[in-house]
Structures are given as C-alpha cells and as structure tokens.
C-alpha cells in the first residue's frame, strides 16, 4: 500500500536520490528544526536563493538569500516558528501529501527540480495555512554527489 511517505521514484536511483534530498531530508529537517539533517545537501560557496514573493513578475523578485548562511538562519527561524504553532492534524503527513517534484530536468552536471506545494494545514483555532507555491531548485554534481546550489523560491502556483 502506498503512503505519503513513500518515495515515488524508488525504482529510479537518480530521481529517487533527488526525492530523498529535496523532499524527505528537507521536510524531516524542517519538522525537527534540525539543519544538520540536510546540511550536506547544499553547496556552500556560490549558493544563492531568490525570493519571488509569490508573484510572477520577475521585476519584483529579490535576492532573499545571498549566502547559504543567510538561508540557513531564515530556514531555522521559520522551522522554529512552525514548531511553536499548535496544529490540528498530522502536519508531517499533510506536508508530504502537499509536496511533489513536478518535474526534474537533467542537463549534464546540472539539474533543475520543480518542487510544488499544494495543500493546507490547520491550526487548533480553526485557521488554515494554505500551501500553494512552487520553487525551482538548481542542483549541481560536485565530487560525484548532487547538491543544491541555489533556488528561486516562493513562486506563485495555481492549478
């Protein structure tokens, strides 16, 4: 029986490894606010992350994370804030169900991963946190291992 936690690319070693990095380790690290779980998945030198602010107009995008350190600090702050909320349901399962790798494009020693969130989480006060955005992650092969070199995050996503 298939569960939300199953790697949909288990029969494909490369795509399966990318899913483990971009989904499982990322989510598990975030849910436990433990950067060490995913720290080895990133390139330190030259890493950059753009923030699209949920708008399609690229003129409004900014360099939100000019270094891996800047990204890590924001990521940890967000993970701690998330953990401090009182959720009404199993957030782990809901996050796994909401997240898909919609496309994985290969080009020599580079990969572009299209990661989409589409779902919702609920707090015990009845409020809803909608998960509807996408991010594009750039992976590079370094020393025989794929690592995240940067991304454009918080892109709008509509069905």
- The full set of domains in the chain, from first to last, is 13-156 (3.10.450.50)
Q: What is the pLDDT of residues 89-140, one digit of tens each?
A: 889 999 999 999 999 999 999 999 999 999 999 999 999 999 999 999 999 9
Q: Parallel, antiparallel, or unpaired: how do β-strands 48-51 and 145-156 relate?
A: parallel
Q: Interior CA angle at 95 toward 111 and 77, to 5°?
A: 85
CA distances from 131 to 47, 62, 93, 122, 141 (A): 25, 21, 13, 11, 30
Q: What is the pLDDT of residues 24-67, one digit of tens each?
A: 999 999 999 999 999 999 999 999 999 999 999 999 999 999 99
pLDDT reading at 2 higher than 90: no
pLDDT band at 1 (very low <50, low <70, confident <90, very high): low
Task: Find the mean pLDDT for residues 65-89.
Answer: 96
Task: Find the mean pLDDT for residues 148-156.
Answer: 97
Task: Please report which residue ranges of 51-139 form alpha helices under DSSP H.
Answer: 68-84, 91-98
Q: Which residue reads 């899913």 in tokens?
A: 19
CA distances from 138 to 113, 130, 150 (A): 7, 25, 5
CA distances from 44 to 19, 50, 108, 147 (A): 21, 16, 21, 10
Asked whether 30 and 117 are in contact (CB, 8 A), the reply is no
pTM, entire model:
0.93
Asked whether 47 and 147 are in contact (CB, 8 A), the reply is no
């Amino acid at each position: 029986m298939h569960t939300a936690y199953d790697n949909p690319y288990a029969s494909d070693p490369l795509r399966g490894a990318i899913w483990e990095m971009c989904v499982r380790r990322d989510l598990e690290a975030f849910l436990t606010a433990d950067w060490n779980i995913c720290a080895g998945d990133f390139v330190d030198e030259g890493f950059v992350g753009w923030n699209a602010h949920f708008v399609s107009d690229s003129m409004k995008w900014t360099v939100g994370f000019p270094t891996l350190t800047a990204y890590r600090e924001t990521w940890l702050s967000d993970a701690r804030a998330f953990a401090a909320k009182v959720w009404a349901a199993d957030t782990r399962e809901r996050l796994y169900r909401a997240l898909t790798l919609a496309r994985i494009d290969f080009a020599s020693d580079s990969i572009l991963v299209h990661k989409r969130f589409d779902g919702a989480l609920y707090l015990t006060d009845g409020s809803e946190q909608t998960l509807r955005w996408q991010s594009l992650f750039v992976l590079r092969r370094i020393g025989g291992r794929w690592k995240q070199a940067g991304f454009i995050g918080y892109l709008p996503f509509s069905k």
